[in-house]
Structure 1
Amino acid sequence: MPWSSEQYLKFEDQRTRPARDLLNAVPAEVIARAADLGCGPGNSTELIAGRFPEADIVGVDSSSDMLDAAKKRLPGVKFRFGRIEEWSEPGPWDLIYANASLQWVGQHERLLPRLAERLSDGGSLAVQMPDNLAEPSHASLRTVAATPAYVAKLGKAIKLRSPLPRAEWYYKLLKPYASRVDIWRTTYLHVMPSHDAIVEWVKGTGARPFLKPLDEDEQTAFLAAYREELAKAYPALDDGTVLLPFPRFFLVATR
């Protein structure tokens, strides 16, 4: 199942808020060169362009659909098709920004130092990653996937993402490359109109590996079972809305 910019942007305001919070933590007042790794449909790249209008910005993504949406949104920005772990444009970069993308990329112990080494003096590596694998929104995916109806097809999907290392691990990894490392964790409480809305949210990101191996009928049945699990985990409030806790991990390493 390819990434869908349309599905992703159904919740653009909620998805862009942590991207804005991450960018606000970047200390630089002036940026000449910036890279947005895993730029998606360009909503995060647009924030960078808005704050640093004179910057030369490049966006990188491995989804053609996402890049098509980004190019329409920001025709003046350079966009590249490619995998984050293979991105090799040399520095120095004043900002390397990765919002909600590196959780899909392994070997952070190698990747993050390689990125930090390409920063200019005073440049920042700014990263935000969902830290929600233990939350019911994602645990419920694994619960349904582990049932007899799906486990044969979805065994790999269950193991695709691993929990993030502890904050101390990231600090120790990046401190040799930075004069300052800021790390924090925030839980956003998204007010969702229904459990169906949570299903639509997760379909655009975390559920993709679970849906990809299934045919259309299996996807429909899987999502129905997933919704039942969500209803158990997130009781609806009196007005019918549902609060969706969404923990996210942030770091800004400045050289």
Structure 2
Amino acid sequence: MSEQAFLWEPAKYVQFSDFRDRPFFDLTSRIAAQNPSQVVDLGCGPGNLTATLALRWPEATVLGIDSSEAMITTARPAPGLHFELGDIAQWSPAEDTDVVVSNAALQWVPGHRELMSGWLAALRPGAWLGVQVPGNFGAPSHVLMRELAESATWRDRLEGVLRHDDAVGEPSEYHELFIRGGAQVDVWETTYSQLLTGENPVLEWVRGTGLRPVLAALGPADSVDFERDYAALLAEAYPAGEFGTVFPFRRIFMVGEKQ
């Protein structure tokens, strides 16, 4: 399912902003572009992180693109900072594009590896591509969601809703993709040990991202029943401790400069 197929809630997405923002800065800190003139953020969400690119490169024109009308409506344009509604799968870099950033968006786009190869082919020498995708599709949070969706109770209504087998690649695959695309690349992964607090904190986390397709497919009434069963499974997989619930989150990063 593509990200266009369900509605995003900007307020829910930024609920854990401290945790969600950190990978963006870990990613963009490795982009060594000095004086770019054209910077693009693909899957910019509500635009708060895109705005930091405009602060970092004040002489550049920074464009944020997202397929969610709710996200783009929330974004705040400024001099040199623009936002537009658009489909990542249909985008290609212009000749003068210097930096392309995509943070936690390409996992929603089928065929994103081919897209990235096309972007690298189109980028001019000296241009940069930085991508971060979640690498937690084998974590209990996602495995339990898929198993519940595939159970007899929910199978008929949720068949084909959740992507997992090909949602993202492994670091070695992306490493080779960048090299074949003519880029000098740095690829790494980080598992953040996040301490979540409150009632059903892991459920609250995935409500803002991975659970969105399920909620959209089921509608409000059935979503309550699904979340009840899912919350019980999560509570067992992620037991609360004295200080909160530890939620490991693996992320895969890649930053390359076209040679």
TM-score norm. by structure 2 comes to 0.92
Rounded to whole Å, the distance in 1 between the matches of 2:148 and 2:171 is 30
How far off is 1:57 after superposition? 0.8
Aligned: 1:44 with 2:49: yes
Q: Secondary structure at the match of 1:20?
A: helix
Q: d(CA) in 2 for partners of 1:19 and 1:220? A: 32
Q: Is the 8 A contact 2:8 2:68 kept in 1?
A: yes
Partner of 1:226: 230
The correspondence of residues 67-216 of structure 1 with structure 2, limited to 5 A, is 67-70=72-75, 72=76, 74-76=77-79, 77-159=81-163, 162-216=166-220
Q: Is 2:51 the partner of 1:24? A: no
Once the 2 structures are TM-superposed, how far is the Cα of residue 246 of structure 1 from its aligned partner? Answer: 0.5
- Residue 247, structure 1, aligned to residue 257, structure 2: no
Partner Cα separation in structure 1 for residue 198 and residue 146 of structure 2? 21
Q: Give the RMSD, CA atoms, in angstroms.
A: 1.6
Cα distance, 1:165 vs. partner?
2.2
Shift of 1:5: 0.7
Q: Secondary structure at the match of 2:221?
A: helix
- Is the CA contact (8 Å cut-off) linking 1:35 and 1:97 kept in structure 2? yes
Deviates more, 1:219-228 or 1:44-53: 44-53
1:30 deviation in Å?
A: 1.9
Q: Distance between the aligned counterparts of 1:141 and 1:153, measured in 2?
A: 14
1:56 and 2:76 correspond: no
Deviation per CA, 1:64-110: give whole Å up to 9, x if none: 0000111x3x3332212111010135223110000000111122342
- My pick for the range that moved more, 156-165 or 94-103, is 156-165
Q: Give the letter aligned to residue 53 of structure 1.
A: P
For 1:54, what is the secondary structure of its paired residue? coil
| 2:237 aligned with 1:237 | no
- The 8 Å contact of residues 61 and 81 in structure 1, kept in 2 or not, is answered as yes
Work out the CA distance in 2 between the residues paired with 1:79 and 1:159: 28
Opposite residue 49 of structure 1, the aligned amino acid is A
Alignment deviations for residues 170-229 of structure 1 (CA, whole Å, 9 cap, x no partner)? 222221333411100100111100352221211111001111111312111111111111
Do the aligned partners of 2:93 and 2:119 also contact (CA within 8 Å) in 1? no
SS at match of 1:157: coil
Where does structure 1 differ by over 3 angstroms across 4 or more consecutive aligned residues? 158-161
Please, which moves more after superposition, 1-10 or 172-181?
A: 172-181
In structure 1, the gaps of 5 or more residues are none
Identity of aligned residues (%): 35
Higher mean Cα deviation, 201-210 or 170-179? 170-179
CA distance in 2, matches of 1:78, 1:248: 27
Query: Aligned partners of 2:224 and 2:188: how far apart in 1?
Result: 37
State the aligned residue count.
252
Q: Counterpart of 1:9 in structure 2: which amino acid?
A: V
- Cα gap change, 1:46 to 1:161, in 2 (>3 Å): farther
